[in-house]
Amino acid sequence: MPEEIKPNAVYTTEEAQKLLRVSNSTIKRMLKRGLINANKVGRQYRILGKEILRLISPETEQKAVKSYLKLKKKVVDVINKW
């Protein structure tokens, strides 16, 4: 049974590699090209689960962006009324 990817969990490159089922060189290439957003801690990268989910399901990210923009517009409209 596949492991559940938690959006707010922090994963190492090895863990992300296993979850995405890609080679070590592929995960490094993805990091270098900016396909995965990650933070460097010391000499190692840490990847948020939501970044892994974004790669697996871009549709989910698009829905989240649309939802965010809709909410942002409502907030801006309320602020502009002041």
List the one residue out of 56, 40, 57, 37 whose CA is nearest residue 48: 37
Residue pLDDT, tens place only, 13-31: 999 999 999 999 999 998 9
Residue pLDDT, tens place only, 29-59: 989 888 889 999 999 999 999 999 888 876 7
Query: If you classify domain 10-81 with CATH, what class do you get?
Result: mainly alpha
The answer, yes or no, to whether residue 1 has pLDDT greater than 60, is: no
CB 32: neighbour CB atoms within 10 A?
9
Per-domain residue ranges for the chain?
10-81
The answer, yes or no, to whether residue 81 has pLDDT greater than 70, is: yes
Per-residue pLDDT, 63: 67
